[in-house]
Amino acid sequence: SPRKEMTIFRSLPAPCLISAFRSLNICWSTLVFLQQTFEFKISSDLLDEGSDQSLDMQSNYKVKVGDCLTSPSSSYRVKKIIGSGAYGKVTLCQKASNNQMVALKVLTNLYDDDVGQKEARILQMLQEGDSGHDNIVQYMDSFQYEGHHCHEFEKLDIDMNDFLESRPHMTLQLTEIRPIIAQMARALQYLKTKGIVHCDLKPANIMMTDHIQQPLHVKLIDFGLACPVGEAVHGTLVQTFYYRAPEVQVGGAITEAIDIWSVGCIAAEMFLGTYLFSAIDQYDLMRHVGTSQWIYRSRLIQRPFPLTIASLDDIYENDPFSGERMTSPAENQDRRLFVDLLKHMLDLDPVSRYTPEDILNHPFITMSHLQHSGMLCCDFYTEQNPT
């Protein structure tokens, strides 16, 4: 898969990985850094195989299917492990108090207590005074079980990675990308009113509510790295590698603008089917970003596999995979406006980079150019939501 580049880790079985980590004296914090930097998943078999090894020697509870976790108000029967990573595991649970299926995030206790408490505080801030936001996962409760912080959320469907991988060429049409960008802009607009920076926007943290019954309705999840703007420390290395804003790479200020950069990278990825900036380390990434002037002069887009496009100009008039020219003037204009929006979201200067409000008012989102083109049928979620 062109979107998955850490194959050296994924191709090795769990025992080999553990042996390699131990022989190289790689500690858990290094594994966490690798996972966050290159966005590879720590599989459940690795976590289970290493439960008695140095990678997991401080963790005294391993959540598994069939377990019953209790809180002061209810109990939760684990039905399925739906996600795992450096943070811990996300489980699908049946809540005893109402038989409702919920998602329960069980954090590893290898982190300081402050990490779980900070995330709970952020989640509570997002729920204060109202029922939350339609494009942000609904948070329900937090509690501790066996020394582990647990956060309860509504049950959602699949994440954007899974959705993209189910599509031909792992791409979406502009009529599908548009409502997703609009919903992320509204989510970030809401975070801005709360003074929160997400700090880890990526496809894995955008989830469908129900990709069959409510196609293209998405919600932002995972606030483990989120922080209030005033508490963000300059120089902190946040964001997943391929979606990291240039100012973060050079130790600059962490503001709401870094989330906009991430959305721009995700929007381009949804259209192209691969990472916008393919790089092997942070220096290579900065070389691509800093010298890529494609944002302004349509230079080559670096791609891990050959396609028929050589610059963003080709996106205006050709299908990126078939190379066929577009015949519809409306479709051509739609692509031109999409690329224009990308330029503004990926402005190297965070001060002049687009805000959520700018995104929502851009013609690509408002569709003012498509009112009489018959291309509006898939754009229900671009409509403004009062929440």
The answer to whether residues 340 and 321 belong to one domain is yes
Query: In sequence order, which residues have a C-beta less than 8 Å from that of residue 134 and are 6 or more positions away?
Result: 186, 219, 385, 387
* 387 assigned to some structural domain: no
Question: What local confidence, expressed as pLDDT, does residue 374 receive?
Answer: 59
pTM for the full predicted model:
0.78
Give the residue with greater pLDDT, 185 vs 235.
185
Pair 36, 134 in one domain: no
Task: Check whether residue 295 and residue 377 sit in a common domain.
Answer: yes
CA distance 20 to 16: 6
Q: Are residues 337 and 202 in the same domain?
A: yes
Residue 24 has φ and ψ, to the nearest 5°, of -90, 0
Domain ranges, residue 80: 68-154
Strands (E) across 131-279 are located at 139-145, 148-154, 196-197, 206-210, 214-220, 227-228
pLDDT band at 24 (very low <50, low <70, confident <90, very high): very low
**Set 134, 200, 259, 347: catalytic member:** 200
pLDDT (mean) for 91-107: 96
Question: Does one domain contain both 36 and 75?
Answer: no
Question: What does the pLDDT look like over 37-60, one tens digit per residue?
Answer: 445 444 444 444 433 333 344 455
73 pLDDT exceeds 70?
Answer: yes
Torsion angle, alpha carbons of 267, 271, 274, 275, to 10 = -20
200 in active site: yes
Q: Residue 324: what pLDDT?
A: 56
b/e sequence 25-55, b meaning 16+ C-beta within 10 Å? ebebeebbebbbbbbbbbbbebbebbeeeeb
Looking at the structure, tell me whether residues 232 and 339 fall in a common domain.
yes
- pLDDT digit string (tens) for 160-206? 999 999 998 899 999 999 999 999 999 999 999 999 999 999 999 99
pLDDT at 373: 61
Is residue 278 very low, low, confident or very high in pLDDT (cuts 50, 70, 90)? low
Per residue in 300-349, pLDDT (tens digit) is: 333 334 444 445 555 555 555 555 555 678 888 898 899 999 989 999 89
The model's confidence at residue 120, banded by pLDDT at 50, 70 and 90, is very high
Rounded to the nearest 5 percent, the helix, strand and coil shares of the chain are 40, 15, 40
Whether 364 and 285 map to the same domain: the answer is yes
- In a domain, residue 232? The reply is yes
Residue at 233 is within a domain: yes
- If you average pLDDT over residues 278-295, what whole number do you get? 51
Q: How far is CA 49 from the centre of its chain?
A: 28
For residue 254, pLDDT beyond 50: yes
- The annotation places the binding site at 105
- Tally the domains of the chain: 3
How much is the average pLDDT of 105-115? 79
The percentage of the chain sitting over the pLDDT mark of 70, rounded to a whole number, equals 66
170 and 102 belong to one structural domain: no
User: Which of 96, 124, 154 is at the close of a domain?
Assistant: 154
Q: pLDDT value at position 376?
A: 57
143 and 166 belong to one structural domain: no
